[in-house]
Structure 1
Amino acid sequence: MKIAVMGAGAVGSYYGAILARAGHDVALVGRPAHVEAVRRQGLLLETQSFHGHVPARAGEHPREVAGAKLVLFCVKSTDTEDAGRQIAPYLDADAVVLSLQNGVDNAERLQALLPQLVVPAVVYVAVEMAGAGHVRHHGRGELVLGPSPRSEEAAGVLSAAGIPATVSGNAVGELWAKLILNCAYNALSAATQLPYGRLVEGEGVLDVMRDVVDECLAVAAASGVTVPGDTWEAVMRISRSMPTQLSSTAQDLARGKPSEIDHLNGYIVRRGGELGVPTPANRVLHSLVKLLESRKG
């Protein structure tokens, strides 16, 4: 199958590499330095069980998605509409677009722009870009897809390639569950530049995280969303399963790039304001990251 990755950063490059290793024709759309490295030597994939170069096509232009039957849409939440408009002229009519993004409303925003089927996917993977053309995997890798007429087919393709993929009837709740994990960890990891395992050992940190989680659950309940599972246990499990992982927000700040914080803690603050639910802990973390983003040089 021809598969394209729009936004080949850490997440997109990791899944693209796994699919390419399984024999799929994968095209990566990414930044110039990354594209050049992949063209020159393939994508360097580093996992606990594999360390080597994976051949893949790469380009900077959205036209690379042409002909793809499955498109992994992995751009930052702040770029959803812009990237959606960029790929729109090149998408095959029967392509399926999987939104592998943080936040809870990206698939809805993207579907408003595209006639093709857009399926939300919840991503549980710890990866980082270790350099141009080099993606390093720290743990996990499963995807949870929302229901659609094509979701089981897409999950089958992913699973056959070695990517654990399931379909959930409660996609909204699953997206909120991931959002809450991000709200608990991302800003604190960004402000301290600490990985999750060390972060939770900090004095008072678990109490702050508990406050953040409780606020998120209150906003979810007021929104009519049922968050599956034991949320606090899921939060603690992240520190055990991804102890060496820095949050994507921390990685963005370290590189001087804008983060997705407006779509994480910032989303909770806005939604809480609309529903009359207080969110002071999330407000502090959102404001802190915005201040850190504003520091130039």
Structure 2
Amino acid sequence: MNVLVIGSGAIGIALGASMLSQKANVSFYATKKTAEAMNDGINRIGIFKHLSYKRDEFEVYTSYENIPRNYYDYIFICSKTIANDDISNNLNNNRDILKENTKIIIFQNGFGNDEPYLRFFSKKTVYCARVITGFRRSTRNTSEITVHTAPILIGSLQKQDPQSLKEVSDMINKSGIESGITEDLPRYLWAKMLYNCTLNPLGAILNVTYGKLTENPYTINIMNKLIDEIFNVIQASGYSVEWNTSEEYKEIFYNKLVPDTYEHVSSTSQDIQRKNKTEIDSLTGKVIRLGEEHKIDVSTNKVIYNLIKAIESEF
């Protein structure tokens, strides 16, 4: 199997190492600084089995022009969502990188990240994954897995059969990270959106861990309103989650989900600390767009969104 990983950050390095452990031929597309760091090899460390690979065991490219043609069976999109327009355009302009049956799998936060790619590629080509695993890049060539809540699930937002992706999920699973395929990916992604959109930006604004947000009555009040609004958007948009009401979700949210990730620092918070643009448009921004489309009150989400944007404007 030949795999191209686009986005050599924490999740890209971890998944690349996972596929290397299963004897796949792995190439990375990376920035020049990251490519230089990867000359010393790559490492997957943290709560699962540690994996390390030397530079002669994988390929690294910094230009699409140098990437082999008609070679890759799978392309993993592991970048931040803000890069999707650029990546999808580059793949379209260099589409001979793909074979006739190449699959693109998007491993990102948010919902609807397949949309930029569907401008150029068919529904049978573009897939997404639900990832509730915490990755942190401790150095440019090292990914640390910090927390794992549920298996990585791979499927389609366009009602395509995910069976062809089973070999990928099996390989990730055998590498030590639980993984599987699903025919109901939107349901699982919206469950993650409920979790992420409630905790991620608010934790970043206040610069606290997920657990700390549940210890203050004021932040609990904000989170309850966020959950209610997101739940209403999910239902109005024709999607579903496994909980019938927002109150049912809050029960597991406060008693199970947050305690399991008490010390986690959100990716939005990490971006802000590094003065990088965040993925807020794929998270809260998506909730707001659907809320406005279906005339649902999303005023609390708008406040959170605007606060993150205000912080970003200083970068």
Same fold (TM over 0.5): yes
Letter of the aligned partner of 1:85 in structure 2? N
Matches within 5 A, 1:15-164: 15-39=15-39, 41-51=40-50, 53-55=52-54, 56-62=58-64, 63-64=66-67, 66=69, 67-88=71-92, 89=94, 90-115=97-122, 117-140=125-148, 142-146=151-155, 147-164=161-178
Residues 48-71 of structure 1: CA deviation (Å, up to 9, x unaligned)? 354563333322223547522122
Any gaps of 5 or more consecutive residues in structure 2?
156-160
1:295 is matched with 314
CA RMSD for the aligned pairs? 2.1
Residues 182-223 of structure 1: CA deviation (Å, up to 9, x unaligned)? 101111121122222233223422221121111001011000
Say which of 198, 203, 207 aligns to 1:184.
198
Contact 1:103–1:179 (8 Å) recurs in 2: yes
Contact 2:6–2:79 (8 Å) recurs in 1: yes
The percent identity for this pair of structures is: 24
Letter of the aligned partner of 1:257 in structure 2? N
Residues 58-104 of structure 1: CA deviation (Å, up to 9, x unaligned)? 22223547522122111222221220121232222221111111221
TM-score by length of 2: 0.86
The 1:91–1:183 alpha-carbon spacing in structure 2 relative to 1, beyond 3 Å, is same
Contact 1:196–1:238 (8 Å) recurs in 2: no
Deviation, structure 1 residue 14: 1.4
Matches of 1:231 and 1:186, distance apart in 2: 17
Matches of 1:79 and 1:132, distance apart in 2: 18
Aligned length, in residue pairs = 295
Matches of 1:65 and 1:232, distance apart in 2: 49
Residues 244-277 of structure 1: CA deviation (Å, up to 9, x unaligned)? 3211111111111111112211221121111110
Any gaps of 5 or more consecutive residues in structure 1?
none
Matches of 1:65 and 1:33, distance apart in 2: 21
Letter of the aligned partner of 1:44 in structure 2? N
Question: Aligned to 2:114, what secondary structure does the other structure show?
Answer: helix
1:267 is matched with 286
In the alignment, is residue 284 of structure 1 matched against residue 303 of structure 2?
A: yes
Contact 1:127–1:245 (8 Å) recurs in 2: no
Contact 2:234–2:240 (8 Å) recurs in 1: yes
The 1:78–1:153 alpha-carbon spacing in structure 2 relative to 1, beyond 3 Å, is same
Deviation, structure 1 residue 288: 0.7
Question: Aligned to 1:263, what secondary structure does the other structure show?
Answer: coil
Letter of the aligned partner of 1:81 in structure 2? D
Matches of 1:13 and 1:199, distance apart in 2: 30
Letter of the aligned partner of 1:42 in structure 2? G
